Amino acid sequence: MTIDLTGKVALVTGGGRGIGRSCVELLARAGADVVVNYRSSEAGAAATVAEIGSAGRRARAIRADVSVADEVEALFGEVQAVWGSLDILVNNAGIIADSLVAAMEPADWDRVLEVNLRGAFLCTRAAMPIMLPRHAGKIVNVASVSALRGGRGQANYAAAKGGLVAFTRACAVELAPKGIQVNAVLPGMITTEMSTRARKRGGERLLETIPSGRFGSPEDVAQAVLFLVSPLADYITGQALAVDGGMTSA
Ligand code: NAP
């Protein structure tokens, strides 16, 4: 059975690079038209849109900081005006600002929660006027294994991603009767810019904590997202799926 998303419109936040970009590529390959949100990666978003366009899908890059309510409203307003619908939302945008809790600046605490948690809330809220009248929609929140296990120097990030998983469950319960499924993926150690320092610092010792014996690729995460937004997952909601090579089971 193949996943066919022809005729669906998807929006991926932070879709210009990393895991978000892989999500955009896989969704488009499955037939969806895709809105690529970005904040600073204008060139990456433009390249992604060009790549999708040449494969015959409709795509558009739209800049917005997901933590700013007005910018999110404008983003979804443009989606509504241009596409008239939204079937899939992937809340992928995220940042880290690591430091030990004793030295953590309140500004770094706030910023990490604003982007990773408030951003998902603002985007989910803004998607409602489009999804609710259609009584359909799929939302996937990109959380982290940090929601399950503490990482040194990541109190802000763990709180944000733990909050995002709780937010996912609450939204799932509220929105299931409205035909909208909400799930989360929890990536482990994935080979993107975000984890470069941790992978360099952790080296072989870090690899030994992953039963599969390798770091994950952005595609590994995107494939899980693709499954969760597909009709194959119509009866799955409120779940948090670790994509971590067995890391959190070890
Ligand atoms: P990345 O390469 O650093 O990409 C982060 C993405 O988030 C970029 O596309 C960036 O867009 C976007 N972003 C950041 N702040 C934003 C904002 N205020 N508004 C809109 N977009 C914003 O990291 P990644 O690994 O692909 O991360 C994607 C998601 O996976 C994040 O939620 C991250 O927490 C999660 N995750 C990653 C790992 C990992 O090992 N890599 C593990 C667990 C979870 P611009 O470049 O346009 O600013």
Per-residue model confidence as pLDDT tens for the chain (250 residues): 899 999 999 999 999 999 999 999 999 999 999 999 999 999 999 999 999 998 889 999 999 999 999 999 999 999 999 999 999 999 999 999 999 999 999 999 999 999 999 999 999 999 999 999 999 999 999 999 999 999 899 999 999 999 999 999 999 999 999 999 999 999 999 999 999 999 999 989 999 999 999 999 999 999 999 999 999 999 999 999 999 999 999 9
Report how far apart the first and last C-alpha atoms of the chain are (Å, whole number).
32
CB 83 within 8 A of CB 59: no
User: Dihedral of CA 21/26/29/33: which sign?
Assistant: negative
CB 138 within 8 A of CB 228: yes
The predicted structure's pLDDT at residue 56: 87
Q: Residue type at 39?
A: R
Q: Which of 2, 4, 40, 3 is nearest to 20 (CA)?
A: 40
Rounded distance from Cα 1 to ligand 1 centre (Å): 31
The predicted structure's pLDDT at residue 83: 94
Q: Cβ(92) to ligand 1 under 6 A?
A: yes
Report the nearest-CA residue for atom 19 of ligand 1.
65
The predicted structure's pLDDT at residue 1: 80
CB 44 within 8 A of CB 212: no
Q: Cβ(222) to ligand 1 under 6 A?
A: no
Q: Cβ(144) to ligand 1 under 6 A?
A: yes
CB 199 within 8 A of CB 206: yes
What are the two backbone dihedrals, phi and then psi, of residue 180, each rounded to the nearest 5 degrees? -115, 125
Report the nearest-CA residue for atom 4 of ligand 1.
18
The predicted structure's pLDDT at residue 55: 84
* Type and span of the H or E element at 89: strand 88-91
Q: Which SS3 state, helix, strand or coil, does residue 92 take?
A: coil
Report the nearest-CA residue for atom 32 of ligand 1.
94
Active site residue 235: no
Distance from C-alpha of 142 to C-alpha of 40, rounded to nearest angstrom: 19
Distance from C-alpha of 132 to C-alpha of 35, rounded to nearest angstrom: 19
Atom of ligand 1 nearest to the CA of 145: 43
Q: Cβ(13) to ligand 1 under 6 A?
A: yes
Distance from C-alpha of 108 to C-alpha of 123, rounded to nearest angstrom: 21
Q: Cβ(22) to ligand 1 under 6 A?
A: no
Distance from C-alpha of 215 to C-alpha of 152, rounded to nearest angstrom: 19
* Type and span of the H or E element at 34: strand 33-38
Atom of ligand 1 nearest to the CA of 14: 9
Q: Which tokens hold the place of 156?
A: 């802000």
The one catalytic residue among 38, 76, 109, 157: 157
The predicted structure's pLDDT at residue 102: 98
Rounded distance from Cα 8 to ligand 1 centre (Å): 24
What is the architecture, at CATH level 2, of domain 9-244? 3-Layer(aba) Sandwich (3.40)
